[in-house]
A and B are shown apart, each in its own frame.
Chain A
Amino acid sequence: MSANVGVNQLQRRNHSRTNVGRKAGTTIITIVMIFVAAYFLLPLVWLLISTTKTGSELFNTPMLALPKHIGLFANLKLVSTYHGGYFWRWYLNSAIYATVTSVLSTVICSLAGYALAKYRFRARQFVFGMILASLLVPAAALTVPTFLMVKFLGLMNTYAGVIVPGLATAFGVYFLSIYIGEAMPTEFMDSGRVDGAGEWQIFWRIAIPVLRPGMVTYLLISFIGSWNNFFLPLLILNSSALYPLPLGLDVWSTYLTQAGAGVPPYAQIVTGSFLSILPMVVLFPFLRKYIASGMITGGIKM
């Protein structure tokens, strides 16, 4: 905040937007921005450096000091073999959960969103109203019920138990129906009909190519959402072989303070955390644009 005031005074002193005033303002704000950037990067840089340290160095060397002995390979080996060696299995599980959920959810929600946006039929208002109403229900109210439903269907401790409840999201249909309503001209559908195409053909051949950007956005949001998902797997899974990464790392972190769990697995958790965020953080610069554009469509229209 103090930086704000500083800039304000500076500008007032110069009054006009001369180059000098602008340069000074730019410098001060840029310094502030760099400090803020350091705050956001700090944990990630710390994680990167710590991954290369051995367990004892983690606590004996300054936080951001580079390691004296490269512990990376030892850590990788530790992670791969710790407590039954499930880590890479968790990695695979996370990839399966996120890929299957996001792809199926995109198809299901796009179809529904397309129907709601582009057809006039009797149940339309009712379904749309129901979706809007459900957006107001906090997920917490559905924790126990979802758990019971999964149990009822006999899907406890299965891949399907984690995937199926997350497929039909009200947000997805809401977002896609608004996007489709704007991005897909009804004339395209009419000209398809004139050419003798069926409604499904129009959807697959004409609509999907037009709507790809919005669908990609939802796919990414959904992928990140289920890659990060923790609560549902926590309720539904109890065998280590099915855990996604966040759940596995949570279980490891319970060994930190548990009596009789052996040496606290600091190095394993640090390295495991680093590996589990690596793909997303690396891909993020390329995906940012799609995600941000989708958030605004989902957000501004509320």
Chain B
Amino acid sequence: MRKGRLVPYTMLAPFFILFLGFFVYPFFYAFYLSMYATRMGANQFVGLNNYLIALTDSEFWHSITTVLYFGVLQAVSVLLVGLILALFLDSSLVKGKAFFRLVYFLPYAVPGVIAALMWGFLYSPQLDPLLRVFSLFDAGKPVNVLSSSSLLYSIVNIVTWEWAGYNMTLYFAALTALPIELYEAAKIDGCNEWRLAVLIKVPLLRPMILFTSILSIIGSMQLFNEPFILSNLTAVPPNYTPNLYIYNMAFSYGNLNYSAALSFLLAFVTFVASMLFLYFTSGEQRREKRAARKQRKAMRQLGTEKVGIQS
């Protein structure tokens, strides 16, 4: 055919080669590794044994429950703060919107490592006057927000600081994309700003809320930087999060095979968590679809031609 036929392949080649080398191949190689174990100095094929060990590895599952709990807290704080801020900024009630949009989004430009260091310092009681206020609630005892019981909440705060503005930006952009006529129609019908936000904007933001929730689930399952940095300032267990456990398994204990198996298990758990989330949040839509299907079926049985009824 034309001489340009090979052009798209050539354009794709640099990406494809790198993608094969640093994604596809490592992915399968890791799977291969996960089926071996070092026994008496020799590499031995053990099949799925590493996975069986992992399934009963309480240290691993402890880290999973930690991040699941963290994920719920994080989703509530990060997404809710982001959503409320975006709705405020989209309403006609706020002045200086450009300024607030910028300030809230600013932490995006700060590396996670630096954010964790800054907050880590701010968590030290000598530095932070707010912590002294907290201590009033606890009979004046000095508060250590990096103690093992409150570490998780301290990390939630860091992550909220880092990501609430990012999610606000996503929501705000999605709100801006909504047709303005909708608002005008609602206002003519007597909707105030508050009702407009809750009854019209939030339902329309649904796809974006689902999308950010998924990102947030994946992100919290992979939590690493913040606890890793805070471990320089306080005691953080080596299996605090799955990723920290995987890292320590590979690079502190030198067990690459088991670490690879844990990585796959983590990926699988993340995938299942995301899918379960999507399944439960789309329950209503599924019911609607099922009802519509039933309706169509009934129509056909009745021999009517009106198949395209909208539900």
Contact = CB atoms under 8 A, between A and B. Distances in A.
A196 B210 CA distance: 47
B160 to A, nearest CB: 9
B128 A63 contact: yes
Contact of B15 (A17, A109, A121): A109
Contact of B8 (A121, A137, A300): A121
A125 interface: no
Contacts of A249: 113-114, 117
Given A7-B194, A26-B93, A142-B26, A43 B118 contact: yes
Interface string A24-58: 01100110110011011111101100000000001
B225 A296 contact: no
A141 B193 contact: no
A40 B99 CA distance: 12
Interface stretch (A68-76, A77-85, A225-233): A225-233
Contacts of B18: 108, 164, 167-168
Contact of A62 (B9, B129, B266): B129
A22 B93 contact: yes
A292 B110 contact: no
B277 interface: no
Nearest to A172: B15
Interface in A232-283: 235, 245-247, 249-250, 253-254, 256-257, 266, 269-270, 273, 276-277, 280-281, 283
A259 to B, nearest CB: 13
A202 to B, nearest CB: 9
A138 B93 contact: no
Contact of B100 (A33, A46, A139, A224): A33
Contact of B232 (A200, A253, A293): A253
B283 interface: no
A36 B113 contact: no
A37 B105 CA distance: 10
Contacts of A231: 224-225
A168 B15 contact: yes
B271 interface: yes
A250 B232 contact: yes
Nearest to B225: A230
Nearest to B215: A299
A112 interface: yes
Interface in A1-15: 4, 7-8, 11
B192 interface: yes
A186 to B, nearest CB: 14
Contact of A140 (B23, B27, B103, B243): B243
Contact of A29 (B15, B93, B104, B224): B93
A132 interface: no
B242 interface: yes
Counting from the closest, the 8 A-B pairs by CB-CB distance are: A145-B26, A168-B18, A112-B15, A119-B8, A141-B267, A228-B111, A246-B113, A115-B11
26 contacts: A4-B194, A11-B193, A29-B88, A40-B104, A63-B127, A111-B15, A115-B9, A119-B7, A127-B12, A141-B30, A142-B23, A143-B247, A143-B263, A145-B263, A164-B22, A168-B19, A198-B4, A230-B225, A246-B112, A247-B113, A250-B229, A253-B233, A270-B121, A284-B102, A288-B102, A300-B211
Interface of A: 4, 7-8, 11, 17, 22, 25-26, 29-30, 32-33, 36-37, 39-44, 46-47, 58-59, 62-63, 108-109, 111-112, 114-116, 119, 121, 123-124, 127, 130-131, 134, 136-149, 164-165, 167-168, 170, 173, 198-200, 203, 224, 227-228, 230-231, 235, 245-247, 249-250, 253-254, 256-257, 266, 269-270, 273, 276-277, 280-281, 283-285, 288, 291-293, 295-296, 299-300, 302
Interface of B: 4-5, 7-9, 11-12, 14-16, 18-19, 21-27, 29-30, 33, 81, 84-85, 88, 91-96, 99-115, 117-122, 126-129, 161, 165-166, 169-170, 173-174, 177, 192-194, 207-208, 211-212, 218, 221-222, 224-225, 228-229, 232-233, 242-243, 246-247, 250-251, 256, 259-260, 263-264, 266-267, 270-271, 274
